[in-house]
Amino acid sequence: MKKIIIVAHGCSRSGVGDPDVKTITKATEDLSFHTAKSYMDGENFPEYASASMSEFQPLSDSDCLFFFGFVPHGTGIVNTGMRRGGHIHGEEIFVLRNANASLPEIGLFARRNDAKVIMLACRSYI
């Protein structure tokens, strides 16, 4: 089963998650933009079962410029055309744009794409 990355605003907390969605932070820990970017650039981090993440918010144009150097167009979960570490075989990177999404919607997206999702739900720039 392939693995994909989705970047959005959000946070995790203790509770029941989705078996097809993982994160790189422990429950109740915030994920910074810099840590998320390091992960997408290829740095390794441990993966954790998704905690109870309620609703995710889309990234702004300036957030996208920070992460990708360009602004992906579309609504919902949008493929950036980029891959983790810049490698042709790296995980595809998606971004949430112009719409909110819930954890069940992210899980459904994973199952429809026969994939496991690494959810980068960012809260801060630090």
pLDDT given at position 26: 76
pLDDT given at position 76: 96
**Residue whose pair of structure tokens reads 């360009």 in the numeric block:** 70
Which phi-psi region, left, alpha or beta, contains residue 75 (left: φ > 0; alpha: ψ -120 to 50)?
A: beta
Give whole-number Cα distances, 112 to 16, 76, 97, 116, in Å. 21, 15, 19, 10
Number of Cβ within a 10 Å radius of residue 29: 16
Contact 123, 53 (CB under 8 A): no
Q: What is the pTM of this model?
A: 0.90
Number of Cβ within a 10 Å radius of residue 119: 28
How would you classify the pairing of strands 55-56 and 2-9?
unpaired
- Please report, for the chain, the start and end positions of each structural domain, with discontinuous segments joined by +: 13-124
pLDDT given at position 126: 43
Mean pLDDT split into 10-residue runs, the chain, 126 residues: 92 69 81 92 88 79 95 96 91 96 91 95 66
pLDDT given at position 88: 85
